Amino acid sequence: MDVEKWLVLNDDRTYLTKLHAANDYTGQFGLKLSEEDAALLLTERKNILKKQERLEFGEGILPKLIFAFCDSPYIYQDNYTDTLGRLQEVFYLYKNETLDEIPDDELIEYMKEQFDGPCQGSVDYLEDTSLELFARNSRFGLHGSREEDDDEI
């Protein structure tokens, strides 16, 4: 096995281990990722990064999304994996749309506020309305103005 493949395989195992470790915390909300679900999310992550032409180092964004969204009243076991996949996709899209000017934690916090608030658990509404406005404001230097964001939604 060549070194490059070994590094990718090792990174995948580390990533899957982190996703499984999150189950200890998310279990209190009735949410758990199976081995198949975690592998699916890892594959989706790779595809999304390629599609969005992004590179990611370290643990990735999915564990942060898991911990941020696991207590949402709109996420339950039956839609958990699909919702995480969509949130991951939307996150990377809007990292690009905000020209990487917004820190990851701030974008996730805004996504969570909107998802649980005006979007009422709709990732499509989050993507097409709330985050579109957020990205537009970010490009015009208004990303710190939350009051303006909330008034326009």
The mean pLDDT values, 10 residues at a time, for the chain of 153 residues are 43 81 95 95 92 83 96 98 97 93 94 97 96 88 52 46
Please tell me the distance from the alpha carbon of residue 141 to that of residue 68, in angstroms, as a whole number. Answer: 25
pLDDT of residue 6: 37
Cβ partners under 8 Å of residue 134, min gap 6:
94, 98, 110, 143, 149
- How confident is the model at residue 55, as a pLDDT? 84
Q: How crowded is residue 138: how many other Cβ atoms within 10 Å of its Cβ? A: 23
Distance CA 140, CA 31 (A): 38
Helices first, then strands: H and E counts in the chain: 8, 0
**pLDDT of 103:** 93
Amino acid 118: pLDDT: 97
Give pTM, 2 decimals: 0.84
Structure-derived torsion over alpha carbons of residues 146, 65, 48, 106, reported in degrees to the nearest 10: 30
